[in-house]
Structures are given as structure tokens and as C-alpha cells.
């Protein structure tokens, strides 16, 4: 028996963070680039991002949101227009001060987000209520300088989508912000199999310049929260600054009501952290670029010659592949010259949900050996049953990954009635803590300073276990508090 190289991958069970970096590099999802804080997203990682794009484009189309593209450079003076906004971003800005060999009079900011440049254009385009709504999204890269970086989770340059809409009434803007917020929940829960708590950000944690920020918060296996996608009701904060006015139905001039919302490549980091084991990542079938890998096993028999065996294998596998593809299942046949063990390890590392092993034995008895990535179970399935079986199993794996992550999240969401309890949770298991908070920013900052836990959100929906109590006292300062907030240490 050959001993296959599994030794290389660091163990997830030993140290999640070391495993995370290692598995991203070894599964060829991404690699470090020459500039510190930047990374290359490799084809297998990029295929996941493309899948997210496809899903999200489909969702946006249901409300008529269209894709467009705005420039990478923003005049610094434009960014400075909205005071709160520029203050929120200034420590992270990358500035271009020289262009074409000359010092620029107005330095250019490499976009950290595109509100300012887009809204300067919206001011030009909007005149009457008939020009509304504006429903634009762009897929692009943004730059926010980071001192410490972490593949996918915190990089100086990252990819995302940023939706920016303008409406006639605040009601319509809020509807839009909430629709995007719901799309994000669907991306996480229904596709990435990551359960999220949905809620509203505190004043200190909300987006710079927003009236309300809606957030989706996920729990990672190390007990830290990942803020995964946010949607903002911008009110008229930006339209007043950028002078986006329209003549209303009554002829009076009014400022538009706006939203912005973003989902970044950070979610892929959350995906890799959430589902995995010592053998690699585990991809939920709905998002997996390859759902089934077929590994042909060459003949070891003497009763057939090698050529005949290879032909039989090909004739067995090709129609099977076509049939599965016809059902929309994403297949890869691995006919590479590597050893079987290496092939198995490689596809386990890359998290492909199902592996089919097909050799002479399977061909002769008209079966397929199926191996499930998440549980390592193996089954012998009749050829005639395989398509329906595969479809069913992919649904089951998707569901099972979500349930497992949800159980972990629920088991690690705790109530803290006293500050001692709060601190004890934060110094041991971490996870989400539900506690009354007085909503005073100084108290919030002190909690963060003393325990590393920040407010993640005020949960919006009353899912089981998250019902709002009438009132209570702040877990730290004892002042009256009207809501239980969700706290956690964040990524």
C-alpha cells in the first residue's frame, strides 16, 4: 500500500487559523501577491466568486437592478464632500498624487467604495420623478489599506458588488435596502449553507454616512463573528451633499432617497472557515464549481487487456457524464496520470461534494461507487438509479452542511445577564452573546475594550430564541436598556 501525502495539510482540529491559510494555498483557491496585503484569486477560487455573481445577478434582476461600471479613481475633493463618510474611510485610503510624471493638483483616491463618484453622476442624470428610481449595481474592486491581512477575510484590495439606488420616497428606499438584505440572507443560508443573524447596526458600527445599516452576521468555528454583507438606508444624507434633486409629482424640488449595499469576496473566507475538516474544505453542492468528480480506476485484472479496459471505462463514463450534465450537475472526470491516492486527496482537499469511483468491477456489475465528501460514507449504486440518487444526495449534503453550521451557531449563542457572565463567555467559548445594552456609545466602546466583543446587531426578526424582551438593564453599566443586542468578537 502506497502512503499518500496527506501529511502536508495542517490540521483544522489543531489550529483553525493555520489550517485556513494552508488549505487556501493548497486547494489553489488563492495565493499571496507581491504587494503585501494583496492576493491572487486562482481559477478554482474565482469560479466560486463567479457562482456568487451569477446567483446575485439573478436576484437583482427580479427588481430591475442593472449592472454598470464607474471609474476606479475618485477626486479627493469629491470624497471630502460628505464629512462623516470621508472620516470613516480616511485611515484606509490609497492616494495617487503623481500622474503622468506630474504632481496632481487634486489627488486621486483609489475607490474604497463608490458612493461619491456615482452620486456626482446621479446628480447629473436625475431631474424629474420620471428619472427615478435609479437601480444600479457594479461588480468591481475596491482598496482599503490594511495593516494586517488575512486571505479573503481582510485584504487591501478586494472584489465585491456595490448596489446604489435612488428613489422618490423613503418608503421605496427602505423596501430596496430590505430586499438586498434578504438577497444576502439567501446567498448565505440557501447557497453557502452559512446561517446568519439579521439585524441593525449600532450608531458606532453603522456605515459612515448611513441612516440605518442592516447586517448579516455569521458565526465562525472559532467563535468569532463575520460581518458578511450589509445594506444601508442612506436617507437623504448623500443626496443633500451631492445635490441630487428632482421635481416631484407636485412640481416641488426634492432630494432623492438612497440605498447602497455590498457583498464581497470576504464571504468566500466565511465559506472556507465554516465547512471543512482535516482533509480540506467542504463545498456546499449549490455553490461547488465541481459537484461530482469521476475518478476512473484503471484495470488491475488479467482477464482483460489494458486497452480494452480503458475503452470499456470510457464507454461507461461518457454517457453517464452526459446524462448527469443534462440534469445540470457539474462534473469533472479526472483522467490525469496521478496516482489514485493523490487524486482522492486532491478532490477531498478541494471539497468536491461527491466522488464516483469507476473501474472494471463497477463496469462489469453495472454499478458506481459513490463517496460522500462531508461524511466519508461510501455506497454502491446501480447505474440505472445514479442520476436520481445523485440529485437527491446533493440536496441532502447541502441541507446537512447548513444544519450542522446552524447547530453550532445556536449552541454558541448565549444569554448573559451579568457582566461577569459576559466576560466569562468571552474568555472561554466566545460565540454570540445576547445581552441588554443601554445603547450608549461610550459603554459600547468600554465593553469592546474590556472583552473584545463589539455589538454585532440588534436582531430584527423574531426567530425562535431571539424575541425581544420588553426592557432590562445594561449588562455593563446597569442603566435602563430597551433591547437585547447581539455581541461577539468580530473578524
Give the residues lining the site for Zn ion (CB under 5 A): 438, 443, 474, 476-477
Nearest to Zn ion of 94, 443 (CB atom)? 443
386 phi, psi to nearest 5 deg? -65, -35
Shortest approach of Zn ion to residue 418 CB, angstroms? 13
Specify the pairing of strand 30-32 against strand 253-255: unpaired
Nearest to Zn ion of 297, 443 (CB atom)? 443
Nearest to Zn ion of 130, 479 (CB atom)? 479
Shortest approach of Zn ion to residue 419 CB, angstroms? 10
Shortest approach of Zn ion to residue 484 CB, angstroms? 13
Nearest to Zn ion of 25, 443 (CB atom)? 443
- DSSP SS3 for 152: coil
> Residue with C-alpha cell 463545498?
283
Q: What is the 3-state secondary structure (H, E, C) of 287-321?
A: CCCCCEEEEECCCCCCCCCHHHHHHHHHHHHHHHH
Q: Which among 209, 263, 176 is positioned nearest to 81, based on CA atoms?
A: 209
Shortest approach of Zn ion to residue 58 CB, angstroms? 43
- For 477, half-sphere exposure in the C-beta direction (CA atoms, 13 angstrom radius) is 14
Specify the pairing of strand 292-296 against strand 354-358: parallel
Greatest CA span in the chain, whole angstroms? 89
Nearest to Zn ion of 5, 450 (CB atom)? 450
Task: Work out the burial of residue 410: count CB atoms within 10 Å of its CB; fewer than 13 is exposed, 13-18 middle, 19 or more buried.
Answer: middle
Shortest approach of Zn ion to residue 443 CB, angstroms? 3
d(C-alpha 218, C-alpha 432), whole Å = 9
Nearest to Zn ion of 95, 203 (CB atom)? 203
Nearest to Zn ion of 319, 480 (CB atom)? 480
> Residue with C-alpha cell 456595490?
162
Angle at 127 between CA 123 and CA 131, to 5 degrees: 100
Nearest to Zn ion of 443, 460 (CB atom)? 443
> Residue with C-alpha cell 488549505?
23
Cis peptide leading into residue 133 (ω within 30°): yes
Shortest approach of Zn ion to residue 215 CB, angstroms? 21
Shortest approach of Zn ion to residue 437 CB, angstroms? 6
Shortest approach of Zn ion to residue 479 CB, angstroms? 5
Amino acid at each position: 500500500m502506497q502512503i499518500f501525502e496527506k501529511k502536508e495539510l495542517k490540521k483544522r482540529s489543531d489550529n483553525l487559523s493555520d489550517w485556513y491559510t494552508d488549505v487556501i494555498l493548497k486547494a489553489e483557491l488563492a495565493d499571496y501577491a507581491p504587494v503585501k496585503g494583496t492576493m491572487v484569486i486562482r481559477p478554482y477560487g474565482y469560479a466560486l466568486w463567479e457562482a456568487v455573481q451569477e446567483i446575485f445577478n439573478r436576484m437583482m434582476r427580479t427588481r430591475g437592478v442593472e449592472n454598470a461600471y464607474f471609474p476606479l479613481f475618485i477626486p479627493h475633493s469629491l470624497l471630502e464632500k460628505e464629512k462623516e463618510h470621508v472620516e470613516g474611510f480616511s485611515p484606509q485610503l490609497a492616494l495617487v498624487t503623481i500622474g503622468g510624471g506630474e504632481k496632481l493638483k487634486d489627488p486621486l483616491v483609489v475607490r474604497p467604495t463608490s458612493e461619491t463618484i456615482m452620486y456626482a453622476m446621479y446628480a447629473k442624470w436625475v431631474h424629474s420623478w420620471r428619472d427615478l428610481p435609479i437601480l444600479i449595481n457594479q461588480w468591481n474592486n475596491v482598496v482599503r489599506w490594511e495593516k494586517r491581512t488575512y486571505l479573503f477575510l481582510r485584504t487591501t484590495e478586494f472584489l465585491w458588488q456595490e448596489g446604489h439606488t435612488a428613489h422618490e420616497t423613503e418608503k421605496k428606499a427602505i423596501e430596496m435596502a430590505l430586499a438586498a438584505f434578504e438577497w444576502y440572507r439567501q446567498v448565505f443560508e440557501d447557497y453557502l449553507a452559512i446561517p446568519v443573524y439579521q439585524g441593525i447596526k449600532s450608531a458606532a458600527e453603522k456605515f459612515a454616512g448611513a441612516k440605518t445599516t442592516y447586517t448579516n452576521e455569521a458565526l465562525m468555528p472559532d467563535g468569532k463573528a463575520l460581518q458578511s454583507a450589509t445594506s444601508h438606508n442612506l436617507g437623504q444624507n448623500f443626496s443633500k451633499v451631492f445635490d441630487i434633486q428632482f421635481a416631484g409629482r407636485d412640481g416641488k424640488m426634492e432630494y432623492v432617497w438612497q440605498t447602497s449595499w455590498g457583498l464581497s469576496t470576504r464571504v468566500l473566507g466565511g465559506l472556507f472557515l465554516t465547512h471543512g475538516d482535516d482533509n480540506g474544505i467542504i463545498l456546499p453542492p449549490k455553490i461547488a464549481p465541481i459537484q461530482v468528480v469521476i475518478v476512473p480506476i484503471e484495470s488491475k485484472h488479467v482477464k482483460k487487456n489494458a486497452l480494452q479496459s480503458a475503452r470499456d471505462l470510457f464507454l461507461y463514463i461518457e454517457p453517464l457524464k452526459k446524462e448527469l450534465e443534462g440534469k445540470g450537475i457539474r462534473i469533472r472526470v479526472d483522467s490525469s496520470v496521478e496516482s489514485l491516492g493523490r487524486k482522492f486527496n486532491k478532490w477531498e482537499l478541494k471539497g468536491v461534494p461527491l466522488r464516483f469511483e469507476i473501474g472494471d468491477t463497477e463496469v462489469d456489475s453495472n454499478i458506481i461507487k459513490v463517496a460522500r465528501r462531508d461524511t466519508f460514507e461510501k455506497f454502491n449504486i446501480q447505474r440505472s438509479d445514479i442520476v436520481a440518487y445523485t440529485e437527491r444526495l446533493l440536496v441532502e449534503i447541502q441541507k446537512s452542511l447548513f444544519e450542522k453550521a446552524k447547530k453550532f451557531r445556536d449552541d454558541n449563542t448565549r444569554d448573559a445577564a451579568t457582566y461577569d457572565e459576559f466576560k466569562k463567555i468571552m474568555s472561554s467559548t466566545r460565540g454570540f452573546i445576547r445581552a441588554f445594552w443601554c445603547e450608549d456609545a461610550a459603554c459600547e466602546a468600554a465593553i469592546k475594550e474590556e472583552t473584545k466583543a463589539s455589538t454585532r446587531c440588534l436582531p430584527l426578526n423574531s426567530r425562535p430564541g431571539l424575541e425581544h424582551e420588553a426592557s432590562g438593564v445594561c449588562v455593563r453599566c446597569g442603566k435602563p436598556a430597551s433591547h437585547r443586542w447581539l455581541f461577539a468578537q468580530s473578524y
